[in-house]
Amino acid sequence: MAVLAARRLREAGRKLHTFSQLARPESKVLDEREYVEAVLAQEPDIEWSPAYLPTHDAIGPNDPDLLLGGAPSWSGALICAAASAAGCEVLLSGAGGDEGATYHGTGLYAAVLRAGYLRQLPRELRAIAQREGKSLLRVAVARLLFPFLPDWTACLLPSRFGHAPAQSPRDSALSFLSPAFAQRVRQSLPAPSDWRNRPMDRVHMLTHSYLVARADNWSILGARHGVAFSYPLADRRILDFTLSLPLNRFVDGGFARQPYRNAMVGILPESIRWRTTKFWPFPDILLNLASEEQGLRARLERVRRSPAVVELFNLKAIEARLGNVLAASRALEFAEVVARQD
């Protein structure tokens, strides 16, 4: 979207302003920087600005205007302010791309098998095996067998296959509530989504997911700065097209996120068009935590004085998780220091 927008504006004698959420350069944490630089090298007239995650001490209390209680001084709000200062009226977002134009649903190759596209799969699996340097058997087991196993078998799978059991986000969040309150909340929640690449699942990914709340919150943040958000990959024409495609059209040449990859010839740099990685949006958040341990523990001690907080929340579980996160952040900080010294 950035490349196409830059080219269209160039024809009109105008420039595109872009903002990339990255780790602070001094952190040396891996992020999207190399891919950002690839686009800037290809489209050198783009006006680019990095955006960095503010510290937790600077975030302050939750914002009551936002539906999910997100803090307004996170990087999204900072980007809105920077865009407004640059004279921008519209911010383009790629939200909805994962669920639509670049769809790669859970267990996609197994779903392609179930749909009966038997002649295509051997070719795709061989291409994956060659690209990843793995045996065809291992690739086939990971892509075609594991997705069909029931959930209870997760605890039986060896960790070396990357299928070790993990607590779901819902259970993790509920563990921070007092047992009695957690039980009440659990009973009030709808059943967990079970998206299995069915037509209704592909629609619900767009209409019954985080995308709705994200768009609402971003519209509030943007309105404060006179900036509107637009979602080109959620355009009805694009969604109608991608939802009309059979599942086998989303894989080709050993790559998922098709046919988008093939369509980006001459638009995206090749290092981006064929990448298979995706970094966390807040890459240096753990390092921020390590530098703010004293303040975070002080916050925890303050909330212990509130009877309502003690009644509703499992503060021991919260403290234990905070300790684990801080230990991980300190380990990461040490690793980065050693790497810089080396």
What whole-number distance in Å separates Cα of residue 218 and Cα of residue 212?
10
Please report, for residues 31, 62, 70, 256, the alpha-carbon distance to residue 216 in angstroms, rounded to integers and kept in the order given: 27, 16, 12, 30
How are the residues of the chain apportioned to helix, strand and coil, as percentages rounded to the nearest 5?
A: 55, 5, 35
Please report, for residues 54, 208, 241, the alpha-carbon distance to residue 340 in angstroms, rounded to integers and kept in the order given: 23, 44, 48
What whole-number distance in Å separates Cα of residue 337 and Cα of residue 327?
15
Decide if pLDDT at 133 tops 90: yes
In-domain check, residue 157: no
Torsion of CA 212, 216, 217, 222, to 10 degrees: 130
Asked whether residue 188 falls in the same domain as residue 40, the answer is no
How many other β-carbons are positioned within 10 Å of the β-carbon of residue 84? Answer: 16
Identify whether the C-beta of residue 74 lies closer than 8 Å to the C-beta of residue 53. Answer: yes
Strand partners, 252: 255
Of the given ranges (130-134, 202-206, 283-287), which has the lowest mean pLDDT?
283-287
Please report, for residues 104, 136, 165, the alpha-carbon distance to residue 254 in angstroms, rounded to integers and kept in the order given: 13, 12, 27
What whole-number distance in Å separates Cα of residue 256 and Cα of residue 97?
13
pLDDT at 65: 79
pLDDT at 160: 47
Mean pLDDT confidence for 277-302: 83
pLDDT at 288: 78
Strands 17-22, 228-230: pairing kind: unpaired
Domain containing residue 7: 2-102+202-280
Point out the domain boundary residue: 232, 256, 280.
280
Q: How many domains does the chain have?
A: 2
In-domain check, residue 150: no
Decide if pLDDT at 158 tops 70: no
Asked whether residue 213 falls in the same domain as residue 272, the answer is yes
Identify whether the C-beta of residue 53 lies closer than 8 Å to the C-beta of residue 84. Answer: no
Asked whether residue 32 falls in the same domain as residue 49, the answer is yes
Radius of gyration of the chain measured on its C-alpha atoms: 23
Cis peptide before 259 (omega within 30 of 0): yes
In-domain check, residue 62: yes
pLDDT tens digits for range 166-187: 567 788 889 999 999 999 999 9
Residue 279's pLDDT band (cuts 50, 70, 90): confident
In-domain check, residue 317: yes
Per-range mean pLDDT, top range of 13-17, 63-67, 217-221, 284-288? 13-17
pLDDT tens digits for range 77-125: 889 999 999 999 999 999 999 999 999 888 999 999 999 999 999 999 9
Percent of the chain at pLDDT above 90?
Answer: 58
At position 317, the amino acid (one-letter code) is A
Residue 332's pLDDT band (cuts 50, 70, 90): low
Mean pLDDT confidence for 128-153: 88
Asked whether residue 97 falls in the same domain as residue 10, the answer is yes
Mean pLDDT confidence for 322-335: 74
Please report, for residues 234, 235, 236, the alpha-carbon distance to residue 240 in angstroms, rounded to integers and kept in the order given: 10, 9, 6
Asked whether residue 184 falls in the same domain as residue 288, the answer is yes
Strand partners, 143: none
What whole-number distance in Å separates Cα of residue 175 and Cα of residue 169?
10
What whole-number distance in Å separates Cα of residue 153 and Cα of residue 146?
9
Q: What is the CATH number of the domain that holds 47?
A: 3.40.50.620
Mean pLDDT in the chain?
Answer: 86
Q: Which two tokens stand for residue 264?
A: 């980006």
Asked whether residue 215 falls in the same domain as residue 76, the answer is yes
pLDDT at 166: 59
Instruction: Please tell me which residue, 299 or 61, carries the higher pLDDT value.
Output: 299
pLDDT tens digits for range 8-59: 999 999 999 999 999 988 887 889 999 999 999 999 999 999 998 887 666 6
Asked whether residue 56 falls in the same domain as residue 9, the answer is yes
Residue 338's pLDDT band (cuts 50, 70, 90): very low
Asked whether residue 185 falls in the same domain as residue 302, the answer is yes
What whole-number distance in Å separates Cα of residue 186 and Cα of residue 174?
8
In-domain check, residue 109: no
The residue to which tokens 């967990």 are assigned? 192
In-domain check, residue 144: no
- Alpha-helical (H) ranges within the chain are 2-11, 33-42, 56-59, 75-85, 108-114, 120-132, 136-140, 169-174, 179-188, 199-207, 210-224, 236-244, 260-263, 270-273, 285-291, 293-303, 307-312, 315-341
Which among 8, 252, 202 is positioned nearest to 96, based on CA atoms? Answer: 202
In-domain check, residue 22: yes
Instruction: Please tell me which residue, 326 or 303, carries the higher pLDDT value.
Output: 303
Asked whether residue 70 falls in the same domain as residue 42, the answer is yes
Point out the domain boundary residue: 280, 301, 321.
280
Strands 47-52, 90-92: pairing kind: unpaired
Asked whether residue 216 falls in the same domain as residue 335, the answer is no
The SS3 call for residue 20 is: strand
Asked whether residue 14 falls in the same domain as residue 77, the answer is yes
Asked whether residue 208 falls in the same domain as residue 95, the answer is yes
